[in-house]
Amino acid sequence: MSQPEQDDLLRKASDWWSTSIIDIHPGKIAVRGYPIEQLIGNVGFTDMIWLMLRGELPTRGQSALLEAALVPGVDHGPHAPSIAISRMAVSCGLPVNGAMASAVNVLDDVHGGAGQQCMELYRQIDAEAGADGELVDSAARVLERRRAAGDKMVPGFGHRFHPIDPRTEPLFALVDRAVTVGVVAGRYARIGRAVESVLRNTRSRPIPMNIDGITAVIFCELGFEPELGRGLFVLSRSVGILAHAWEQKQQGARIKGPMPKEIPYSYLGPERRDLPQRSDPKPR
Amino acid sequence: MSQPEQDDLLRKASDWWSTSIIDIHPGKIAVRGYPIEQLIGNVGFTDMIWLMLRGELPTRGQSALLEAALVPGVDHGPHAPSIAISRMAVSCGLPVNGAMASAVNVLDDVHGGAGQQCMELYRQIDAEAGADGELVDSAARVLERRRAAGDKMVPGFGHRFHPIDPRTEPLFALVDRAVTVGVVAGRYARIGRAVESVLRNTRSRPIPMNIDGITAVIFCELGFEPELGRGLFVLSRSVGILAHAWEQKQQGARIKGPMPKEIPYSYLGPERRDLPQRSDPKPR
Amino acid sequence: MSQPEQDDLLRKASDWWSTSIIDIHPGKIAVRGYPIEQLIGNVGFTDMIWLMLRGELPTRGQSALLEAALVPGVDHGPHAPSIAISRMAVSCGLPVNGAMASAVNVLDDVHGGAGQQCMELYRQIDAEAGADGELVDSAARVLERRRAAGDKMVPGFGHRFHPIDPRTEPLFALVDRAVTVGVVAGRYARIGRAVESVLRNTRSRPIPMNIDGITAVIFCELGFEPELGRGLFVLSRSVGILAHAWEQKQQGARIKGPMPKEIPYSYLGPERRDLPQRSDPKPR
Amino acid sequence: MSQPEQDDLLRKASDWWSTSIIDIHPGKIAVRGYPIEQLIGNVGFTDMIWLMLRGELPTRGQSALLEAALVPGVDHGPHAPSIAISRMAVSCGLPVNGAMASAVNVLDDVHGGAGQQCMELYRQIDAEAGADGELVDSAARVLERRRAAGDKMVPGFGHRFHPIDPRTEPLFALVDRAVTVGVVAGRYARIGRAVESVLRNTRSRPIPMNIDGITAVIFCELGFEPELGRGLFVLSRSVGILAHAWEQKQQGARIKGPMPKEIPYSYLGPERRDLPQRSDPKPR
């Protein structure tokens, strides 16, 4: 290979892993341009989450609102598959990183995607309304179109366990305060309320905003892309996943199944039967 | 709680984990009704895969064709992300189960979904043609509709590395033989060839059937659902993932990154800069 | 950089991912030296597993014995954490590759390591006995030393569910036959029986050989390293993990927890309490 | 089953998933006894991490020190396997939860365990010194014993990339300040310095404390168990894993291997060879 070809190839190899996030040289680390030694002790963990995901530091107000949204998602008890899986995993011998991996993995579309889907819904309504559209009407049209397309569930609204989600109102109060002091604009808070209003008027039973609906308001207000809404939820729930892994390790079970062995599972397959003689010829 | 309520609850708990696959009692195991002691030594591993996924045993001919399709997918070298991840994982301290988990996980839509997507394509063409439609015309219409919808790639056809995939022809020869002896009907073999024919006539450069396209033919001929096509590929590739994990463990690297450290990665973010003073007031 | 330095660096980059398993060039794939087109249709899936892990093809007898050992480990029902996790995972929205990843991950030391640990035990006994030592005495000494070191459990022996594991005897019969015809030497079969004999004479209740104990015999006879015993079990159990993922997908639950919600979990923590005022000053 | 037996069984089922972490009833959630609505907006994310893992809220000083330790571990660039795996995973089609799972999993003994191992080392030295032993002597004895046992590496000290780790000194300054104001006792800071001193006097080249060594000081000072040191690192690094997953998604590669395809990997196995005729008889 000629030297220019080698130059090209080595440049291509360097570009293969190009990033705008972190710059590292022996003895020097800079995150988004900021030397690590200046960040340590001067910015909080939530600031760092923002800086890593967005490229710039948040204002104090933005950081406080994001931080508040990270708090209530940490756990929803061992009936949640993510938590149960974490606990089962340590009983199989995994260290906490492994238990967290198996558990975080299941925060997928159904178990961890409602916030992201709700952000997408809010943004559809935002686009539908345009600059000066009425939000309730826009929300109604968007929800009607979704319903017509077969989408009966509204992500971020209703909860199969809580008639009223106790996490919604306190977070909404923080959003309102952030709007008042100009930290966020309030557009998505109004969109969220518009959806609530439409659901109140069109559904027979109440479908109030849940934790996913209000964190979607916050993440949209703060300018996060929907998929990062899922990512932020994963960061939050990882705390609970770790805490339960650790508690289970203290409790010390081995090969913990989903229920006590004394409760048998139902077998619905064929009765015991003998292996048939296979009559077709062995190939080759 | 009353006894009838308790009865109900315990029945509900048993039904929570109901299955038709396996029945277990102390000293007794039956898979799909067959006592395990009859299965051992009398059916092969591929037979067992079929029995577990389908509920009944395959004929010898079906089993041989499925087995042939499981062979070539086991590995495509360390440039494949699944294989590279497995090798990196053991260098971080993971045992083989953990390395396999991290690696198998990435056999998702893009890296492990082409076979499934190709099966769906073949089934669309099958439905398009109906009982007596012409397959090449049907394939052309389906591909044209996909192209109009923005889908330029045809899953199962073309390969970014192999001009001609060396795994296709030997597998197709086995399908043809299986059709001749009546093991499979041949409908999907004809559909696969119809797609090849359409691509030959409509594209400027050759896009021959690849490994995913021919295994999709086989899995469709054998009556598997598309998502099981992905599952079967995962079973096959798991072999290579394990083999490379093991080889890496023998080689003994620690914290193996993707390239030698001497090749730096490109940093594209902001220059080093000082942390700003934040001027907005502290919230709360 | 000078051309020789670049040469060196590019060679180092190539060596970074060196492997003896697979050689790939455009249009050409060879596994352990064998062209893929010769392997397809001529070797079975179990042969391929052996070739990938060991570097050479097995004899027909070796392959048949390995294949028999892969059959019974595929499943042990939804009370096994690996199976329950797979089913929970799909109910959270994961495709089969993701469900398999979360599940395979937990086949760790406790849930998937008994076979490997039993192989290590057998090899200790083999080393203890040396060329002409008595196996039962050697087994007794090794077990006594382990017990003295606090290791009460004997991996591969005893089962918390099956008084007699129905998978052991049929597999042992196959081993005996393989010894008779010279496929394997029989050393580890004798060691396994020696352990059984010691346990019969030293324990108050019967601790017969279980599935892990007999597959450990087979894998040792066939010359596999202990960690590959775990890997082979992962390949086998992956089949059940996939089958249950698929069955659960057909059943259609969403966010499936470990038990019906109607069975509450026990909360053992502090009573409801009010948040305290923190009296220490804010740092910085 | 009699009613008392059913009572027992249902109680056993409830106890199966017992926890002291979270109490949930319709419309009510309490974490470690604190109603969720009181926590929201009043405690920070780091407070919540502490509360979940430890059972009580931290003081402001404890929380600030923990928070500072979570900041610098978020990322160490795409040459780290955890980060590279995250980026490869999204290029295979995984959403961020899946990419995070595959990546977090590899934060195992070698890539994510140094902090935990260093905490264990510090605690060994603490125990060795007892109430009034000299710390440098105790550290020397412990390190000498480890070395004699073949353990050449000292977890938390030395770095294969940074001659001096730029994250150590700023964190140590925060520890010293926390000692001064009485937030922590300073015992582990002295132990850390004792290890540094021993290494300075006994090794030919400098092996200064790295990020794992100083975070181990902090986590020990704050009373965390060693395995939680690993867990806290996983929470921290999860931020970088998410940020790189997201950046890679914006860059848009498909099936991203570890190096450009133009750099071939070295194949070290046997030359191309023909499949042998197997001469041993078919079993059965």
pLDDT along chain A (284 residues), means of 10: 91 96 96 97 98 97 98 97 98 98 97 96 97 94 96 91 94 98 98 97 92 98 98 98 98 96 96 90 72
Nearest by CB: D71 against A48, A97, A109: A48
Q: What is the pLDDT of residue A284?
A: 59
Contact (CB, 8 A) for D156 and D216: yes
- With beta carbons under 8 A apart, name residues in chain B contacting C26: 161-163
Q: Tokens 């509450």 belong to which residue?
A: C264
Task: Chain C: give the shortest CA distance to residue B31, in Å.
Answer: 8
Mutate which of A48, A109, A159 to test chain D, going by most D C-beta atoms within 10 A? A48
Q: Is the pLDDT of residue D284 over 80?
A: no
Neighbour tally for C254: CB within 10 Å: 11
Alpha helices, DSSP H only, in chain A? 3-16, 36-39, 45-54, 60-70, 81-91, 96-105, 109-112, 114-129, 135-148, 168-180, 187-202, 211-221, 226-251
Residue B98 pLDDT:
98
Q: What is the mean pLDDT of each run of 10 residues along chain B (284 residues)?
A: 92 97 96 98 98 97 98 97 98 98 97 96 97 94 96 91 94 98 98 97 93 98 98 98 98 95 93 89 73
Region of residue C255 (phi > 0: left; psi between -120 and 50: alpha; otherwise: beta): left
Summarize the confidence of residues D254-280 as an average pLDDT. Answer: 92
Backbone dihedral region for residue C182 (phi beyond 0: left; psi -120 to 50: alpha; all else: beta): left
Please tell me the distance from the alpha carbon of residue D109 to that of residue D107, in angstroms, as a whole number: 7
User: Residue A252 gets which letter from DSSP?
Assistant: T
Q: How far is CA B244 from the centre of its chain?
A: 18
Token pair recorded at residue D158: 């030395």
What's the CA gap between B105 and D245, in Å, rounded?
Answer: 15
Contacts C9 to B, Cβ<8 Å: 260, 262-263
Instruction: Tell me the C-alpha distance between C183 and C61, whole Å.
Output: 6
Restricting to A residues 244-273, those with a Cβ less than 8 Å away from any Cβ of B are 258-259, 263-273
Contact A6/C at CB under 8 A: yes
Tokens, residue B206: 């050759």
Q: How many residue pairs from chains A and C have C-beta atoms closer than 8 A?
A: 145
Amino acid C18 reads S
Contact B268, A18 (CB under 8 A): yes
B88·D106 Cβ contact <8 A: yes
For CA atoms B225, A258, D50, A60, give the dihedral sign: positive
Residue B135 touches chain D, beta carbons under 8 Å: no
Check CB contact under 8 Å for C255 and A88.
Answer: no
Whole-angstrom Cα distance, residue D13 to residue D9? 6
Q: What is the distance between the alpha carbons of residues D82 and A22, in angstroms, rounded to a whole number?
A: 14
Question: Tell me, what's the pLDDT at A152?
Answer: 84
What is the pLDDT averaged over residues D145-167?
A: 93
Q: Do C75 and B242 touch (CB under 8 A)?
A: no
| Amino acid D176: pLDDT | 98
Q: For residue C101, what is the nearest residue in chain A, using CA coordinates?
A: A102
* C241–chain A Cβ distance below 8 A for any pair: no
What's the Cα-to-Cα distance from B209 to each of B107, B122, B148, C208, rounded to whole Å? 20, 13, 21, 53
Residues of chain C with Cβ-Cβ distance to D270 below 8 Å are 20, 32-33, 55
C-alpha dihedral sign at D52, D58, D64, D65: negative
How much of chain D is helix, strand and coil, in % rounded to 5? 55, 5, 40
Burial class (CB in 10 A: 0-12, 13-18, 19+), B280: middle
* Average pLDDT value over all residues in chain D: 96
Q: Please tell me the distance in Å from C206's CA to the nearest CA on chain D.
A: 28
DSSP A24: E
Disruptive mutation site among A40, A172, A262 for chain D (greatest number of D CBs within 10 Å)? A40
Query: Does the beta-carbon distance from C45 to B72 stay under 8 Å?
Result: no
DSSP C159: -
Best CA proximity match to A194, nearest among A137, A127, A151: A137
Which residues is D24 bridged to in the sheet?
Answer: D29
Integer Cα distance of D103 and D80 in angstroms = 10
Chain C contacts of D284, Cβ < 8 Å?
64
DSSP-assigned letters across all residues of A207-232: --B-HHHHHHHHHHHTT--HHHHHHH
A61, HSE (Cβ side, Cα atoms, 13 Å): 17
C229 and chain B: CB distance < 8 Å anywhere?
no
C93 touches chain D (CB under 8 A): no
The first and second tokens of residue C176, run together, are: 């005996």
A·D CB contacts under 8 A: 281
CA distance B186 to C95: 29
Shortest CA gap A9–chain B (Å): 11
Return the half-sphere exposure (C-beta side, CA atoms, 13 A cut-off) of residue B93: 17
Instruction: Report CB contact under 8 Å: A14, B265.
Output: yes
- The pLDDT score that the predictor gives to residue D154 is 96
CB atoms within 10 A of CB D261: 11
pLDDT in tens, A7-42: 999 999 999 999 999 999 999 999 999 999 999 999
CA distance A118 to chain D (A): 16
Distance from C-alpha of D186 to C-alpha of D182, rounded to nearest angstrom: 9
Q: Collect all residues of chain D within an 8 Å Cβ-Cβ radius of residue A235.
A: 235, 238-239, 242
> Which residues of chain B does A34 touch, with a Cβ-Cβ cutoff of 8 Å?
272-275
Residue D29 host element (H or E): strand D28-31
- Sheet containing C22-25: order of strands: C22-25, C28-31, C34-35
Asked if B154 contacts B196 with a C-beta cutoff of 8 angstroms, the reply is no
In the three-class reduction of DSSP (H, G, I as helix; E, B as strand; rest coil), residue D57 is classed as coil
The whole-angstrom separation of Cα C68 and Cα D283 is 11
Element (H, E) at C104: helix C96-105
For residue B255, which of D163, D114, D38, A63 has the smallest C-alpha distance? D114
- In this complex, is the C-beta atom of A32 within 8 Å of any C-beta atom belonging to chain B? yes
User: Counting one residue from A and one from B, how many pairs have CB atoms under 8 Å apart?
Assistant: 150
Beta bridge partners of B267: A19
Residues of chain C where predicted confidence (pLDDT) is lower than 50 = none
Tell which residue, C16, D86, C228, has the closest CA to residue B91.
C16
Closest CA to D9 of B150, C45, B7: B7
- Overall size of chain A counted in residues: 284
| Main-chain phi, psi angles of C24, to 5 degrees | -130, 130
Asked if A241 is an interface residue toward chain C (Cβ–Cβ < 8 A), one would say no
**What are the two backbone dihedrals, phi and then psi, of residue B49, each rounded to the nearest 5 degrees?**
-60, -45
Distant-in-sequence contacts of C249-253, Cβ < 8 A, 24+ apart: C249/B227, C249/C90, C249/C96, C251/B18, C253/C91
Q: How far from chain centre, in Å, is Cα B248? A: 24
D210 in reach of chain B (CB within 8 A): no
Question: Is the Cβ of A179 closer than 8 Å to some Cβ of chain B?
Answer: no
Neighbours of chain D (3+ CB pairs under 8 A): A, B, C
Supply angle C-alpha C184, C185, C186, rounded to 5: 100
Residue C208, number of CB atoms within 10 A of its CB: 17
Q: Which of B77, B92, B112 sits opposite D111 (nearest CB)?
A: B92
Name the residue type at position B98.
G
Q: Considering only CB atoms, which chain B residues are within 8 Å of A10? A: 263
Kindly list the partner chains of chain A, i.e. chains with 3 or more CB atom pairs below 8 Å: B, C, D
Give D157's DSSP letter: B
Q: ipTM of this predicted complex?
A: 0.97
Chain B: residue nearest A278 by CA? B59
Interchain contact, B108 vs D88, CB within 8 Å: no
